[in-house]
Amino acid sequence: MASGRPRPSLGYPGLVMFSAHLFSAATGLVFTIMVVRSLSQAEFGIWQNMSDFVFYFTALENVVPFWAKRFVARGFRGSGETGLACSLLLGACVALLYGALAPFLMSIMGVGGSYLLPYMLIAIQVFEIYALRGLGATLHPCRPQAVGYAIVVKEVTKVIMGYLLLWIAGLGLVGVVVSVLSAHAAQITFSFIMARGFLSGGFNWSYVREWAKGSFLPVYSFFGQRMPTLALFILFALAGDVARGYYGAAQAIGLVVFYTSFMAYALYPRLLARGSGSRSGPEDVERSLKLVLMFSIPMTVGAMLIPDVLLLGLYRLTEYAAASLILVVLAPYYAVRSLTSVLGSVVSGVEEVDAKARIPIGELVRTRLFAYYSLPYATGTYLVALSLALLPLAASPLDAALMLALLSLGTSIANLVVVYSLAKEGLEFSFPWPSVARYAIATGAMSIVLLALPRIYRLSYALLMVGLGGATYLAVLLAIDREARAILKAVLRARRSD
């Protein structure tokens, strides 16, 4: 049943994914500006409501790809084709369900019938998302860098279509929806072209039966991962929209630090790989940790040193300067989450409960994999309870937002400790402390440069500071760290062979 294939390289796919998400953040800002300037305030609110519907109707998007990706990575013949077919079928069913419910949902939300067309078009977006996840289940294990390429294709298409349909044609809300649909269509087309060489072996009903048995786990994970977000609703309810605005402004910048977790994007399928000599080992985990920490340490420290420059440069509103303290806390919070994500890949990747193309439920619920996906329920409940108890004591909206950031950081550290323990139980590896020390030295040199520069609150200057800081860090690191130079050369070799 298993068919061998070369493992994806470790460094280059991660760099592509990291860069693609940074690019997506930039183009997302451009597209948002287009949308805000093209829609009325009411239409923008309707667009946000439509996005909420997409979120709820794609709750099952990972039910099939979760297991299909594991089967593909293990080399089970036909798993990619079977997974894609099931994802397309599930997506079509959910899209039809949304289309049938859309008029009813609009009436409940008090949305006028004049907006029926854009609401109905969202059914296409729902289907596209399921299709993308189905293709991703094959691309991630087989050609992970192609997932990053596809993101860039989507973002470029979205901005171009937004310009044509919003600013040239003036199509308003329909133009926004069609721009997004076109972007996803381009992403699907590119992804299929990249994946079609790996889609072979025919449809296998035995896989479907096993995935159906294990389908509760990705759903269980979906809701668990969203437990901590309940604290944001509590912040809004108890401290108001100003507190939520402060937190959101800092969160948008701090989230970029989390993107460093994508540097280890290829680790998970490498850990899952079957076959003699093909299984990834401790050296891959250690190298992945180095790749992530190499970027997350300077990015975290940089965000903590110049939070005011970043916030005022991006938002141009002086009131957001008050959110600087929140960013100082959220930057390490997202760094901890990034590291936890890498260790979570270890926990998931070394689990062998499905190694024989069978998913025994009795064994599954006793695995470290199930414990890992149960952890957010515990830490999320703790965060929600602390938020309910402590946020009402805050003296101001800013204090409330800062308190939630501190609580989130504390629970994320606790989460990291547990996931690290689970990862070590599954695979013995060493934490790269010597490399961390060298990254810290290079970050110190970067910090001197950032602190010496004057504070000018413009976006262009903020980007200049980031560029100078990054160049200083990279120059010092390459001078003192032979391993960093070797990693860079390996990434460049992988790029030439792609």
Q: In this structure, what are the phi and psi dihedrals at residue 163, rounded to the nearest 5 degrees? A: -65, -45
Residue 5: per-residue pLDDT? 57
Contact 257, 334 (CB under 8 A): yes
Q: Per-residue pLDDT for 82 more than 60?
A: yes
Residues 6+ apart with CB under 8 A from 69: 83, 136, 137, 138, 140, 141, 269
- pLDDT tens, residue by residue, 179-223: 999 999 999 999 999 999 999 889 999 999 999 999 999 999 999
Contact 61, 125 (CB under 8 A): no
- pLDDT tens, residue by residue, 123-162: 999 999 999 999 999 999 999 999 999 999 999 999 999 9
Band (pLDDT 50/70/90 cuts) for residue 494 is low
% of the chain exceeding 90 in pLDDT: 80
Strand partners, 2: 76
Question: What residue type is assigned to position 485 of the chain?
Answer: R
Residue 37: per-residue pLDDT? 87
**What's the mean per-residue pLDDT of the chain?**
92
Q: Cα(495)–Cα(498) distance, rounded to whole angstroms?
A: 5
Residue 275: per-residue pLDDT? 46
Contact 80, 137 (CB under 8 A): yes
Band (pLDDT 50/70/90 cuts) for residue 110 is confident
Contact 68, 142 (CB under 8 A): no
Across the range 429-442, mean pLDDT stands at 96
Across the range 447-457, mean pLDDT stands at 96
Across the range 376-389, mean pLDDT stands at 95
What number of CA atoms fall less than 13 Å from residue 498's CA on the CB side?
21
Strand partners, 76: 2
Q: Per-residue pLDDT for 276 more than 60?
A: no
Query: Closest by alpha carbon to 331, among 383, 389, 260, 254?
Result: 254
Band (pLDDT 50/70/90 cuts) for residue 112 is confident
Question: What residue type is assigned to position 453 of the chain?
Answer: L
Q: Cα(185)–Cα(129) distance, rounded to whole angstroms?
A: 10
* Tally of CB atoms within 10 A around 280: 23
Higher-scoring residue by pLDDT: 304, 39 = 304
Contact 350, 427 (CB under 8 A): yes
Residue 278: per-residue pLDDT? 53
The CA R_g of the chain, rounded to the nearest whole Å, is 23
Lowest mean pLDDT among 46-60, 77-91, 289-303, 468-482: 46-60
Q: Cα(287)–Cα(17) distance, rounded to whole angstroms?
A: 17
Query: Closest by alpha carbon to 270, among 291, 250, 288, 252?
Result: 288
Per-domain residue ranges of the chain: 1-213, 217-498
Residue 408: per-residue pLDDT? 97
- pLDDT tens, residue by residue, 406-421: 999 999 999 999 999 9
DSSP 8-state symbol, 357: S
Residue 4: per-residue pLDDT? 52
Residues 6+ apart with CB under 8 A from 328: 303, 304, 307
Q: Per-residue pLDDT for 277 more than 50?
A: no
Six-digit token pair at 224? 């668990």
| DSSP assignment of 154-215 | HHHHHHHHHIIIIIIS--HHHHHHHHHHHHHHHHHHHHHHHHGGG--S---HHHHHHHHHTT
Helices vs strands, H then E, count in the chain: 20, 0
Q: In this structure, what are the phi and psi dihedrals at residue 2, rounded to the nearest 5 degrees? A: -90, 140
The residue whose two tokens read 């957001």 is 320
CA distances from 430 to 55, 105, 282, 294, 367 (A): 39, 52, 8, 16, 23
Residues in the chain: 498
Q: How far is C-alpha 292 from the geometric centre of its chain's CA atoms?
A: 14
